[in-house]
């Protein structure tokens, strides 16, 4: 049986840990530590990885959340090989969203040029004017196909839709 490993990437606060909790069938393993400076309601950050799994279409999909901080980027080297693809979550309420997109796509495609992406823009409900078209242009620069949706990491249907798109393109 294939080992279906799916990664969640994106900056601190984009919703990676939340998305994995939302999708999980079991209580996820997480490695949270206090943030030096709290970001609104968010007071902790992932320092090694998140892990959980879900069953979809008779297969198990293992979910791994990458830490958002640059100083922990070595976890990407460890987790990218053999991954099905990456759910790249970008915080739509941050003005740095386009820089975040460049940074993450560049870093991950340097590790695996053929990596598949599904991009979820979170927090569009709390402000920010995100141009999905601009993001599409950035994504096209790095990846052959990277569908982009506006999602809410707290909502199972929303995050599952993004997951299904990636699985439909990539297969299990
Ligand atoms: N308003 C709003 N909050 C969201 C959305 N998605 C995630 N969140 C919240 O944003 C925070 C994200 O934190 P976390 O999942 O730890 O982010 P991580 O650093 O990427 O792992 C949590 O408090 C979520 O409840 C969204 O679409 N809208
Ligand atoms: Mg996290």
- Give the residue extent of every domain in the chain: 3-170
Whether the CB of 153 sits within 6 Å of ligand 1: yes
Whether the CB of 33 sits within 6 Å of ligand 1: no
Looking at per-residue pLDDT, the higher value among 42 and 168 belongs to 168
Q: Supply the pLDDT for residue 1.
A: 61
Could you tell me the two tokens for 19? 């998305």
pLDDT digits (tens, 9 = 90+) for 20-51: 999 998 888 888 888 877 788 888 888 778 99
Indicate the average pLDDT of the chain: 92
Report the separation in Å between the CA atom of 46 and the middle of ligand 2, taken as the mean of its atom positions: 4
pLDDT digits (tens, 9 = 90+) for 101-120: 999 999 999 999 999 999 99
Using only the alpha carbons of the chain, give its radius of gyration: 15
Confidence band of 137 (pLDDT split at 50, 70, 90)? very high
Does CATH place domain 3-170 in 3.40.50.300? yes
Region of poorest pLDDT, from 55-59, 106-110, 147-151: 55-59
Rounded Cα distance between 87 and 40, Å, is 24
Report the separation in Å between the CA atom of 14 and the middle of ligand 1, taken as the mean of its atom positions: 6
Q: Supply the pLDDT for residue 141.
A: 96
Whether the CB of 26 sits within 6 Å of ligand 1: no
Return the sign of the alpha-carbon dihedral for residues 125, 131, 136, 142.
Answer: negative
Nearest to 72 by CA among 50, 43, 53, 42: 50
Nearest CA to ligand 1 atom 9: 15
Looking at per-residue pLDDT, the higher value among 149 and 32 belongs to 149
């Amino acid at each position: 049986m294939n080992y279906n490993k799916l990664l969640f990437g994106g900056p601190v606060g984009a919703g990676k840990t939340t998305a994995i909790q939302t999708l999980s069938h079991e209580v996820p393993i997480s490695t949270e530590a206090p943030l030096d400076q709290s970001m609104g309601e968010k007071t902790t950050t992932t320092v090694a990885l998140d892990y959980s799994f879900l069953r979809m279409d008779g297969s198990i999909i293992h979910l791994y959340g990458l830490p958002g901080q640059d100083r922990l980027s070595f976890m990407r080297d460890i987790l990218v090989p053999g991954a099905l693809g990456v759910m790249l979550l970008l915080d739509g309420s941050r003005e740095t969203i386009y820089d975040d997109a460049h940074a993450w796509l560049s870093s991950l495609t340097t590790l695996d040029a053929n990596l598949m992406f599904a991009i979820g823009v979170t927090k569009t409900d709390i402000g920010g004017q995100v141009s999905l078209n601009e993001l599409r242009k950035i994504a096209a620069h790095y990846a052959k196909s990277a569908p982009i949706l506006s999602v809410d990491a707290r909502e199972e249907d929303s995050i599952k839709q993004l997951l299904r798109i990636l699985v439909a393109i990539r297969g299990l």
